Structure 1
């Protein structure tokens, strides 16, 4: 038993040696996490109406704002390069890193106290379309999430950052899965008695478990936490680097809040439709784009600090093309199968057919920017790896102003429905990512842009032809062969469509000589390696 425990521990805390293996682990865990998330959304749709869910999803707006500022602003990008730097200055590491953690925690406590007091005023600003009863409930739920969820998520993400800096990705990737399980359990067993309070309490318990499951990270790290406040010059250097990133997150969250405000003015259930369509679009973005982004930062930081600039440039082009190889066809497949996909994930129960159709339409507009949205996360990490957080901020601020303007134009002046907010998002995301590509090309002295354009064109042509064939196949199957009024047949339709789409796309990729096809071979080799490692844990052990 001790031998099994030791081997399991060694496997969980294995340090990865390549960006591909790190990305595979993150992508695999994100798939499981997103599946858990969609099961959660499906169960919420079974137990609560879109009108009720408007309150639940809106309750996260202000807590998410603080979380995004502190985590995506100060931790997920700025903290890791600093931690890597201080690994080489071990005598100062414990004090400096502990000081940063303590200062962030104090800032968080101040935010929470202030926002709890101001919550009624803030809710009236961000959700003006809610009636007084909804507003009262929304204030209560938002306060619970601020106090019960937020501290554990912030502390847990410190542990995530420390683990990722050590190139150990498995345990932090498991934590969100536990988070989803807690919410699902509370909904199933307590929603009849606690109503919407059941998933709210599930979120609090899930956040607590998210933190606790990562405490063993300290066993692989030489870092030892201290309850100190010192090295203020170094702490200030950290925050000075983080400020542009924090400002980027603030304007992004303001933009998301504008979307919430406009959605609440478009009628009951509109925000739920927008929210669910956005979550579905984020599935491939998180599995490919966010996984590449998170996995790449430690490696990019190492390359830059070790002055391996040619390798740095090459990995940018290779990574973008690898992501395009998956994301361009993913976007096309999602547009072609938008309605059955939304029906499978969210339809049924109190989520009726009209809501399904509008969510599918909104989702298709989100999917237009899917490939560029995915590489956006990787491109920002390229800037952060060279300690440039200002450029992404300037580009994001301008593009977010564009998104806000388009959203207001579409909804308030042109009177377009909820899908127009998704169209605005896609247009803005495309502009933002293209600008990052152009500026990065100039900043690092150029990369192989002709190779990037040529291979992207090949991938697009292969995807277009595959999509046309898949569309006609699905039209033939839907109604003539499969009765898609039954959910199980919707699943069969999507499965057949996915297998056909994948087969044709891979064949055309081979035919067109798309070299990114061979990343699948490398991935299969890595998957086999992980399989063998898992088997070693349980075989030959008495």
Structure 2
């Protein structure tokens, strides 16, 4: 198989597609951890890194509102519909979508470029005037990134239709390579703006890596522009409710950033812990949601409800099987993970107090990892039968709850000595004067659990028959096994303390790796001995991938029995 065949290869099962996306996302996330490790090493939780992280908020809002908010959900089913009828019209549609959304992204970026000084004062009220001005400058530079990402996302939709997940999976890796390049090479030359140049480089690489494969699919660009083009109107109708949900989530992040800016190092601590907790979501939850979406849409459109429910139950249980033990490991190993990822790279400006607060935040984030990993998947079940309103309303409600809880928990951690002492004891934060930042990840996790619960409840009412007994049985087995694994990992950490100097990087790494590996091997050994069907589904997906070639429309789920 030559390089072109590898880049343009197709996946045969949903599970294998999710595994492929998961592996690439895992590598991308590892690069993201290296990126954060370098940021922590160079800047700690000081003003420079807080300025850099705050500068993402408005450009991210543009990208998420216009692209993630709805285009990524609406584009694929409409392109598939066009392609099944007339291929040439489908490729024309791609050109229309590219040009219209390029115009909208540029227009939005220009408007917000002008309004940036006013908006930054709202987003980071705790910053000094000098820091706010620098945040405005970096924000304006970063407006190039949502434009590049917008084009890239449309190409990603095309690749998804053709099941070309391999080349799509490389894009986030190149994005992080660009950012790391900016930290190592642009920052020493240009100072803080060099970090923004790295972001722009990463976004450009994210786009350009997909172009050859999209052309290989048959796309040829045409200068076509019409807001009234039927496909454009259809996309807008589908994306409006979803865009409001994403807008609410972005407002939520802006509010969190505003709150965190009033706490010394708050933005950096929250973002570092958030990125660490998002690692399993990015390598398991999102890949499964992306891989299963075409199959759910196809089976619902054909009226094959039983097949739809079978796929839903299977993927749900596989996510649970993989996510719960990872959540337990993250909680047990939180301090070790933070020290290794954030405390070992660069000049060493990430101190012990920063480590403890970030580890505590990560521990609280871990409570909601399962919910956060299942939310994208359950939402796509709604999207598959073109219901974007229900998940939107639930998402908006969860954002409101998150904001209320954030203010409430921050207040309690500042003014309630009982609550402060309780959380300090649980999370080992004695001696740190201000621990209020941990209220934000706790609020985030509780809101995610609320969103997950109501999504599942309303989905069950909507279609009935979600195979609840199968799901609950699987959840119980996995939960009990994961708790047992957690106890073994915890006591193995205490035991290994005697043999390694954990104040040194290698000693800490070996202790963490051995304890974590023991837990993983124990978990999978139990799953193998007791024949957990979820494990069988994952291994079977590899076998099916390397069987005889099948048509792209035959992509299937490898299901637990």
Matching residue within 181, 184, 191 for 2:180: 184
Residue by residue over 1:213-242, the C-alpha shift from the partner in whole angstroms, topping out at 9 and shown as x without a partner, is: 111133332343322224534321210111
The aligned runs of 1:29-428 (5 Å cut-off) are: 29-51=24-46, 52-90=48-86, 91-146=88-143, 148-230=144-226, 231-267=228-264, 269-348=265-344, 349-412=348-411, 414-415=413-414, 417-428=436-447
Are 1:445 and 2:464 counterparts?
A: yes
**Cα distance in 1, alignment partners of residues 446 and 80 from structure 2:** 36
Are 1:24 and 2:19 counterparts?
A: yes
Q: How far 1:524 moved relative to its partner? A: 5.1
**Cα distance in 1, alignment partners of residues 212 and 186 from structure 2:** 31
Q: How far 1:410 moved relative to its partner? A: 1.2
Q: Pairwise CA RMSD of aligned residues?
A: 1.8
**Cα distance in 1, alignment partners of residues 221 and 302 from structure 2:** 28
Residue by residue over 1:44-84, the C-alpha shift from the partner in whole angstroms, topping out at 9 and shown as x without a partner, is: 22222311210111110110111111221122211111111
**Cα distance in 2, alignment partners of residues 311 and 417 from structure 1:** 48
Q: Contact 2:21 / 2:165 at 8 angstroms: preserved in 1?
A: yes
The aligned runs of 1:494-505 (5 Å cut-off) are: 494-505=512-523
User: Partner of 1:468 in structure 2?
Assistant: 487
Q: Contact 2:319 / 2:373 at 8 angstroms: preserved in 1?
A: yes
User: Partner of 1:537 in structure 2?
Assistant: none
Q: Contact 1:167 / 1:298 at 8 angstroms: preserved in 2?
A: no
Instruction: Say which is worse superposed, 494-503 or 336-345, in terms of deviation.
Output: 494-503
SS at match of 1:284: helix
Q: Contact 2:117 / 2:136 at 8 angstroms: preserved in 1?
A: yes
SS at match of 1:299: helix
User: Partner of 1:514 in structure 2?
Assistant: 532
Q: How far 1:512 moved relative to its partner? A: 4.6
Q: Contact 2:44 / 2:351 at 8 angstroms: preserved in 1?
A: no
Q: Contact 2:16 / 2:542 at 8 angstroms: preserved in 1?
A: no
**Cα distance in 2, alignment partners of residues 383 and 457 from structure 1:** 26
**Cα distance in 2, alignment partners of residues 371 and 502 from structure 1:** 17
Q: How far 1:518 moved relative to its partner? A: 1.6
User: Partner of 1:538 in structure 2?
Assistant: none
Q: Contact 1:47 / 1:191 at 8 angstroms: preserved in 2?
A: no
**Cα distance in 1, alignment partners of residues 513 and 49 from structure 2:** 29
- Unaligned runs of 5+ residues in structure 2 are 415-434, 549-561
Instruction: Say which is worse superposed, 124-133 or 12-21, in terms of deviation.
Output: 12-21
Q: Contact 2:145 / 2:203 at 8 angstroms: preserved in 1?
A: yes
Instruction: Say which is worse superposed, 432-441 or 302-311, in terms of deviation.
Output: 302-311
**Cα distance in 2, alignment partners of residues 20 and 460 from structure 1:** 22
Q: Contact 1:458 / 1:512 at 8 angstroms: preserved in 2?
A: no
**Cα distance in 2, alignment partners of residues 528 and 330 from structure 1:** 28
User: Partner of 1:486 in structure 2?
Assistant: 504
Q: Contact 1:93 / 1:223 at 8 angstroms: preserved in 2?
A: no
Q: How far 1:163 moved relative to its partner? A: 0.6
Q: How far 1:468 moved relative to its partner? A: 0.9
Residue by residue over 1:236-273, the C-alpha shift from the partner in whole angstroms, topping out at 9 and shown as x without a partner, is: 12101110110000001011111101101122x11100
Q: How far 1:474 moved relative to its partner? A: 0.5
Q: Contact 1:159 / 1:217 at 8 angstroms: preserved in 2?
A: no
TM-score with structure 2 length normalisation? 0.90
Q: Contact 1:190 / 1:198 at 8 angstroms: preserved in 2?
A: yes
User: Partner of 2:421 in structure 1?
Assistant: none
Query: Aligned in 2, Cα 1:426/1:215: closer, same or farther, shift over 3 Å?
Result: same
Residue by residue over 1:320-355, the C-alpha shift from the partner in whole angstroms, topping out at 9 and shown as x without a partner, is: 110110100100010000000111110141111110
Instruction: Say which is worse superposed, 14-23 or 221-230, in terms of deviation.
Output: 221-230
**Cα distance in 2, alignment partners of residues 89 and 65 from structure 1:** 35
Residue by residue over 1:132-151, the C-alpha shift from the partner in whole angstroms, topping out at 9 and shown as x without a partner, is: 110010000000000x3221
**Cα distance in 2, alignment partners of residues 80 and 47 from structure 1:** 41
Q: How far 1:443 moved relative to its partner? A: 1.4
TM-score with structure 1 length normalisation? 0.93
Q: How far 1:529 moved relative to its partner? A: 7.9
Q: How far 1:526 moved relative to its partner? A: 6.4
Q: How far 1:126 moved relative to its partner? A: 0.6
